[in-house]
Structure 1
Amino acid sequence: MISPENDGEKFRWILKAGWKGLCPRCGKGHMFTSWLKVTKTCEVCGLDYRFAAPDDGPAFFSLCIVAFPLTFLLVWIEVAYNPPLWIHLVTSFPIMILGCLLPLRPIKGWLVASQYVNRAQEAGTGKLWAKLHERPPEEGASNFDD
C-alpha cells in the first residue's frame, strides 16, 4: 500500500493518482468506471470508494480555472477583431465546451485522492457511517479502509 510520508510526497501522489485515475491506496487499480463515475471498489486492493464525495467540486474548479479565463479571452477576441457569428460557432463554443469538460475527470480524481490521502470526512459522521454500514463504532474511527 502507498503511504506518502511528508506533505510534498502526499501532494505529488494526489496529483499522480488523480491525473491518471489510479487508486489512491495502491496506485494500480482504476478509480473510474466511466468518464466521471467513481468505481465502488478498487479491483486490485479492494479500497471501498464510499468515502469519496467530490460533489460539485470538479465543476466549480473547472469553471473557475478554465471557463473564466476562456470567457475573458473570447470577449477580448470579440472586442478586438469583431469576427462574424459563425467564427464563434466554429471556434469559441467548441473551445469553451472542451475547455470545461476535459479537466473534469482529473479534477475529480484529484479531489477523491485528496480525500483519501488526507482522511477527509465531515466532522461527527464516524458513528453514523458505522451504523449505516453495520460496523461497531470505534472511538476515532473514520470512513477509510486501512
Structure 2
Amino acid sequence: MAEPTPVEPPPWACGTKGLCPRCGAPGLFAGVARFAPVCAACGLDFASFNVGDGPAAFLTLILGTIVTVMAITLELTVQPPFWVHILLWLPITIGAVVGSLRVAKGMLLAAEYRNAAREGRIDERP
C-alpha cells in the first residue's frame, strides 16, 4: 500500500505555525525569525529561497500606516504630552513588527515555494 501524499499547507499556516510548505511538518524556523536550513521531514532546502527584505518592507508600510493613523487620532482627540507618544507608540511599533515578522517571512517563503518563484532570467533565444 502506497503512503499518502502530504497536502501542502496554505501560506498563512506556514507563517503562523512554522510549517514546511512542501510536507506540512513543523520546523520552518530555527530561531525567532530565522529559517531552519532544511526541513527535517522532507529535506526541502529552505536556504534556496530568498525572501530578502520583502516582509520587513511590507510590515513597515502596513504597520507604519496603522500606527501613524492611531497616533494622529490620539493627538487630535486627547492632545497628550509628547513623552506619552514615545512611551506608547515606540513599544507598540517594535512589538508589532517583531511579532509579525516571523509570520510574514513564513508566508512569503510558502508563496515563493507554491508559485515556484525564481530569479528573473533574460531569454536569449533568437
| TM-score normalised by length of structure 2 | 0.83
The reply to whether residue 52 of structure 1 matches residue 49 of structure 2 is yes
Aligned pair in 2 of structure 1 residues 123, 93: CA closer, same or farther (>3 Å)?
closer
Tell me which residue corresponds to 2:69.
72
Give a deviation string over 1:74-117, Cα, whole Å, max 9, x none.
Answer: 12212221112332233222112212221111000000011111
CA RMSD, Structure 1 to Structure 2 (Å): 1.9
Identity %: 34
What are the within-5 Å matches in structure 2 for residues 24-63 of structure 1?
24-63=21-60
Give a deviation string over 1:47-91, Cα, whole Å, max 9, x none.
Answer: 111321110111111112212111121122122211123322332
Give, in whole Å, the separation in 2 of the partners of 1:112 and 1:85.
Answer: 39
- Is the deviation greater in 20-29 or in 86-95? 86-95
- Is the deviation greater in 81-90 or in 30-39? 81-90
Give the counterpart letter for 1:54 in structure 2. V
Give, in whole Å, the separation in 1 of the partners of 2:120 and 2:103.
Answer: 26
Q: How many residues were matched structurally?
A: 118
Q: Residue 10 of structure 2: SS of its match in structure 1?
A: helix
Aligned pair in 2 of structure 1 residues 30, 48: CA closer, same or farther (>3 Å)?
same
Unmatched runs of 5 consecutive residues or more in structure 1: 5-11, 126-146
Q: Residue 102 of structure 1: SS of its match in structure 2?
A: helix
